[in-house]
Amino acid sequence: MVSPFEVLDVDEDADDEAIERAYRERVKRAHPDQGGSIEEFQLVRRAYRELSERDRNGDGDGEGVDPADVDLAEGSDAREPRSTRVEFLDYEAVVDYGWSLDDDELFRKASHADLDPDAHGRLLVHPDESLLEAAERSGFAWPFSCRGGACANCAVYLAEGELSQPTDHIMPDDLAERGFRLSCNGYPLTDELSVVFNVKQRPELDDLILPPGPFTRR
C-alpha cells in the first residue's frame, strides 16, 4: 500500500488547497501525453479521491492506495478538482486599441470594447487539460506549433492567476518572470486566470518562434 500523501507528495497535515494544488501539478506529470503512464495517472487520481473522501467524511489519515488495485476504467463519485475559469484576450486587439499588457485595467477595457467572441471571452479549463487544449475544445483557433514546449508560437501573457509549465525548453527566465507562458502545456494552478493569447508577435519572442509548418496554426 502506498500513502496517498506520498503519491501526491504532500504532508499529512496539508489543507484542502495544498492537496488540490499538489494534485494539479502531479496529475500533469503523470499524464501519458507528458511521459507518464495510464497506471500512474489513475494512481494519482485515486490518491486525490481518497483524500477528498477523507475530508468530506471527516475520517482520519488516508489509509493508502494499492497500485495493483487501480481500475483503469473506473469512474469517479468523489469530488474532483474544479475547472478553471479563464478570461482571454487576443493580443491583436491590444495592439489595435493601443493598450498595454501591464495595464491593470486591460481586461476591463476589453469588456467595454465590443470585441468579437473569439477575441475576448471566457472558457473553462478542465483539471486534466492544458490551456491550449481547452481553447481548442471550446472552438477557438489559438496559434501553436510544436506542442512540446520547444517554441513560443503558442505563448500567452499571464495577467492574473498561476499557470504551471511542466515542460518548457524555450522560455527564458526573464520572460517567464514577466508573465509569459506556453499554452500548449500550461496547466492552471488557480481557479481563475486572465491571459492574453497570440503574443508570439511580440518582438521579445521573435527568436523563439518556429516557421509555419504543416501542423502549425498561425
The domain spanning residue 120 has which CATH number? 3.10.20.30
Residue 10 is which amino acid? Answer: V
Question: Do 56 and 115 belong together in one domain?
Answer: no
When comparing pLDDT for 63 and 90, which is higher? 90
Containing structural domain, residue 11? 4-69
For residue 74, tell me if it sits in a domain.
no
Question: Do 101 and 65 belong together in one domain?
Answer: no
The span from the CA of 106 to the CA of 87, in Å, is 11
Question: Do 46 and 98 belong together in one domain?
Answer: no
What does the pLDDT look like over 76-123, one tens digit per residue?
444 456 789 999 999 999 999 999 999 999 999 999 999 999 999 999
For residue 57, tell me if it sits in a domain.
yes
Question: Do 56 and 160 belong together in one domain?
Answer: no
Question: Do 27 and 135 belong together in one domain?
Answer: no
Reported confidence tier of residue 174, pLDDT bands at 50, 70, 90:
very high
End-to-end CA separation in angstroms for the chain: 48
Reported confidence tier of residue 41, pLDDT bands at 50, 70, 90:
confident
Question: Do 142 and 186 belong together in one domain?
Answer: yes
**Can you list the positions of beta strands (E) in the chain?**
84-90, 120-125, 155-160, 163-164, 180-182, 187-188, 192-197
Question: Do 126 and 168 belong together in one domain?
Answer: yes
- Residue 174's SS3 state is helix
Q: Is the pLDDT of residue 64 over 60?
A: no
Cell of 120: 475576448
Question: Do 116 and 50 belong together in one domain?
Answer: no
- What is the number of structural domains in the chain? 2
pLDDT given for residue 207 in this prediction:
93
The span from the CA of 42 to the CA of 154, in Å, is 29
* Least confident stretch, 37-41, 47-51, 91-95: 37-41
CB-facing half-sphere around the CA of 141: CA atoms within 13 A: 4
pTM: 0.67
Question: Do 147 and 202 belong together in one domain?
Answer: yes
Question: Do 168 and 103 belong together in one domain?
Answer: yes
- At 73, phi and psi to the nearest 5? -105, 5
Question: Do 93 and 201 belong together in one domain?
Answer: yes
